[in-house]
Structure 1
Amino acid sequence: MSNTADKTAVLPFAASCSGAVAVARPLPAEIVRWMSETVCPRPEGEARGAHGALFWTSCEGARIGLFRPADPALARGAGRAGFLAVARDRSAMIDRRLGAAGGRRMTAAFAARLAALGAAADDGMFLVPVLGDADAALARIRLLACAEPARTEFGPMTLTLSAAYADAEDAPLPALAAALPEALARALASGPERLLRADPRPSLASEALAALDEGRISLAYQPVVRTDMPLFPAFHETLIRVSHPGGAPIPAGRFMPEIEALGLSRLFDRRVLALALEKLRAMPTLRLSVNVAPGTLADPAWIETLEAEAALRPDVTRRLIVELTERGAGLRADLTLPFVRRARKTGCAIAIDDFGAGCTALSQLVELRPDILKLDGSLVRGMAEDPARRPLVEAVLRAARALDIMTVAEFVETPEDAAALTEMGVDALQGHLTGRPAAAPATLAPKGRRLPA
């Protein structure tokens, strides 16, 4: 390979980058080889890049230009070596507006501008080798690639880009090849015009996806106990458990936000549904609830799995409860009602989770008519010691009773709170007081955890 422009010309570039997920995968072997040839392993005592054969984007104060690092002294003076991965912001929206042909022209214009910077292309992203400060290099790239609007049949359209940066000395190339696309996906999801530093250490999201691929996913079961039948759980909420290869757990609360940002939560929701249906088949008297992330509302595979189960075993889906978060139902209001209608046809019940944590109006309960309303812990925790909470909770309970909706108070941890909520008329309680998550569903309430009469 004689120069970067030649390399760029033979690499594929996608006509449309559909969003963050499109680039959230490890770089292919040919790109890793290009990275290896761009940043050569340095002999002891010499600067990395001193023997590189390809162009670099050099940042020296206000001057940013292109050079071949043939002179070791020049390479040493340029600073640390690394890679910027860049991609167009709002690609899917722009391509929908312009149509397929217009999107391809926009992509071609973007590609041509970045090719001049010594970039390698990989299906929606560009990699640019950098010597020196990454922020200064990105500013120069934006100036060269985005300053002039692209001409389209709809008139001039301004290009913007987001980027991720990895220091070439932080980790081996395979680790960088996995970290850069993931960081770029997060930048695109939180953009426009963002720059994130890639962490070459395996992220919790990467480890969780590996666990999903390798079958290291299981369920825990937390009982929900009726206040009028405190010995027998009304149902159990399923909670996902992900483990390292050695068996140590990976806390879901730490990796799920990143999984959701990457648009991958539906993959975990599918697995949880499959495991829950399997458990319901094995235990004919059991009732379970499963949580559905906002992105799953638009996932045909999830709802089709539920419908297929209902066609074969309607007794199973009649014992399933689908929990939608209040936040998710509000964010995807256009998808929530069609999803609820399809799910209800399978015989399952619908619950609204975390009610009171967001800003959902009580009027939404009239439209969705959930079977169960779960009051968020922030609304009910400390009820016994804070009488100011009572009017709001009582208003919610009155509306639920009028609509024949079962109410569950979440995160109940003290007998005093349990007594106050029972006296107010909450139908069921969930929390450490009534039972912690366990590897198997409980048939009776935990010993010593009996609720107030």
Structure 2
Amino acid sequence: MHIPACKALAGSSYRGCQCFVSPTSSNPRTNRVPDPETAPPSRTRMLETLGVLLRNAESQQATSAALLMISVNGIGAVNARLGTAVGDELISETERLLKTLLTRSDKIARFGSNTLAIILDGCGTAGLASAGKTMIAAVDTARFPTSAGPLAATVSIGGVALPEQARSVTDAVACALDALEVAKQRPTGAFVAHDARLASERMARRAEAMPGLVMRALDEKRMMLALQPVVATSTRKVMFYEGLLRLYRPDGVLVPAVDFIADAEELGLVRHIDRHALQLGLDLLERHPRLRLSINISSLTVGDEEWASALYACAARRDDIPPRLIIEMTETARIGDFNAAREFLDRLRALGCRIAIDDFGAGHTSLRHLLTLNADILKIDGALVARIPGDARSCALVKAVIDMANALGLETVAEWIGEESAAAFLEASGANYLQGFLFGEPTPADDLRKQGLL
């Protein structure tokens, strides 16, 4: 990387602060000739590189590195005033500028609709803050050409040192995104490095306030579904999306369901949450005729006639919707009456819905589910997949689950896929579908629509 802090912490001026983009009113997309030799790698390649780096670190074959997550601030306002095409141009031009600060061994990729990811080779804990601040300064002083004329931009950055602070792809991405969320809450143009102690304290504060937060969010309808793609193993084509519930805090920060669902069950709110999630999913399916969607219901909701009546009413209006809907039964609590559960799910299948058993291999899920419930899809829990292909026992177990599902006529989805090597193993083992950060992070439906994916 050209930023001295990551190499020798030299105090001299560096090329990054002088790499400004010349203002122009012309469209950069029509003026620039793509260079296949220097084009930034895809997000898939980025995650694969991250996995290789962390595996090498375990065998002491790699030096320190860092993962940065970068958000271009104010894109929502640009999209609203100038159009989404201009917003996309601004993000692309920001990426192009940041790329000029990097060496050939560094990597940059578009990670989300408004998130860039950078791997800095040779940048450890000591140089992390300086690297982030250098990038912020370079963007802050630049003017970016767009079809609407030259625009200014600022960025917020979160970073994590590797492998000191994270030793897996999932942990690295989660830590960097957590730091980014903190940076976005600070004044414009902030950098935040991951701090394990502060992150734990934030989690504790969230947990303490979570019950009241859940109740208020339900009352105020501050929830949404973020859509994560599930791809066909052989073609990597998106076959459907899983709708992952998110709660909006009053300050606008999104909270994933894993952070509040246990509290919801203790408070007796899980059925209310599942009803709301169903309505969100049905609304999306009505607005997007090409969308195929899976949504989660707790086993505590199985048998809830109010939940089912909403689906029946929708099916009466739009008979095209049930065949595009997959119901994933999560196992956060035990099923009390298997016969009643089977009858309830069979009625949903009769409407045209497909049934998936979620998180197989974790929680209360057992072989009895496969024998009693007429499921169509088996989702293999990410905890079983996380160690493949490096761990022989994990490989054997996952392969056995896939073989069993195939013998029972069930399709399989492997979750938590973050590395291409794991995807290749699962393809060879006969898994039907793959899901994980390697193929896409949970994204709002509106962002997918703007990208032409819905």
TM-score by length of 2: 0.51
Amino acid at match of 1:250: V
- Distance in structure 2 (CA, Å) of the matches to 1:248 and 1:397: 37
1:312 pairs with one of 314, 317, 335 = 317
2:262 pairs with one of 257, 265, 277 = 257
SS of the residue corresponding to residue 444 of structure 2 reads: coil
- Distance in structure 2 (CA, Å) of the matches to 1:225 and 1:335: 32
Say whether residues 1:425 and 2:430 are aligned partners. yes
Question: What is residue 210 of structure 1 aligned with on the other side?
Answer: 216
How far the C-alpha of 1:285 sits from its partner, in A, is 1.2
Q: Cα distance 1:227–1:262, how it changes in 2: closer, same or farther (>3 A)? A: same
Amino acid at match of 1:215: K
Question: What is residue 235 of structure 2 aligned with on the other side?
Answer: 229
Contact 1:205–1:256 at 8 Å: present in 2 too? no
TM-score by length of 1: 0.51
Question: What is residue 435 of structure 1 aligned with on the other side?
Answer: 440
> Structure 1: which 5+ runs fail to align?
1-198, 447-453
- Distance in structure 2 (CA, Å) of the matches to 1:319 and 1:412: 24
Amino acid at match of 1:263: G
How far the C-alpha of 1:344 sits from its partner, in A, is 1.2
Say whether residues 1:242 and 2:228 are aligned partners. no
Question: What is residue 277 of structure 2 aligned with on the other side?
Answer: 272
How far the C-alpha of 1:202 sits from its partner, in A, is 7.7
The C-alpha deviation readout for 1:108-164, integer Å capped at 9, x for no partner, is: xxxxxxxxxxxxxxxxxxxxxxxxxxxxxxxxxxxxxxxxxxxxxxxxxxxxxxxxx
2:348 pairs with one of 343, 358, 364 = 343
Contact 2:227–2:242 at 8 Å: present in 1 too? yes
Contact 1:223–1:235 at 8 Å: present in 2 too? yes
- Distance in structure 2 (CA, Å) of the matches to 1:271 and 1:331: 23
1:368 pairs with one of 370, 373, 379 = 373
- Distance in structure 2 (CA, Å) of the matches to 1:327 and 1:218: 21
Contact 1:409–1:430 at 8 Å: present in 2 too? yes
SS of the residue corresponding to residue 429 of structure 1 reads: strand
Contact 1:330–1:360 at 8 Å: present in 2 too? no
- Distance in structure 1 (CA, Å) of the matches to 2:364 and 2:309: 30
Question: What is residue 284 of structure 1 aligned with on the other side?
Answer: 289
- Distance in structure 2 (CA, Å) of the matches to 1:281 and 1:234: 18
- Distance in structure 1 (CA, Å) of the matches to 2:340 and 2:392: 37
How many residue pairs match? The answer is 245
RMSD of the TM alignment (CA)?
Answer: 2.4
Contact 2:299–2:331 at 8 Å: present in 1 too? no
Say whether residues 1:385 and 2:390 are aligned partners. yes
The C-alpha deviation readout for 1:277-298, integer Å capped at 9, x for no partner, is: 1111111111000100122113
Say whether residues 1:411 and 2:400 are aligned partners. no
SS of the residue corresponding to residue 352 of structure 1 reads: strand
Contact 1:223–1:441 at 8 Å: present in 2 too? no
- Distance in structure 2 (CA, Å) of the matches to 1:359 and 1:391: 21
SS of the residue corresponding to residue 247 of structure 1 reads: coil
How far the C-alpha of 1:334 sits from its partner, in A, is 4.6
How far the C-alpha of 1:428 sits from its partner, in A, is 0.8
- Distance in structure 1 (CA, Å) of the matches to 2:288 and 2:328: 20
Contact 2:244–2:257 at 8 Å: present in 1 too? no
The C-alpha deviation readout for 1:311-350, integer Å capped at 9, x for no partner, is: 2211011100000024546455354212211211221000
- Distance in structure 2 (CA, Å) of the matches to 1:228 and 1:441: 28
Q: Cα distance 1:219–1:302, how it changes in 2: closer, same or farther (>3 A)? A: same
Q: Cα distance 1:248–1:415, how it changes in 2: closer, same or farther (>3 A)? A: same
The C-alpha deviation readout for 1:153-178, integer Å capped at 9, x for no partner, is: xxxxxxxxxxxxxxxxxxxxxxxxxx
Q: Give the share of equivalent positions with the same residue, in percent.
A: 42
Bigger mean CA offset, 320-329 vs 404-413: 320-329
Bigger mean CA offset, 250-259 vs 207-216: 250-259
Contact 2:211–2:264 at 8 Å: present in 1 too? yes
Question: What is residue 356 of structure 1 aligned with on the other side?
Answer: 361
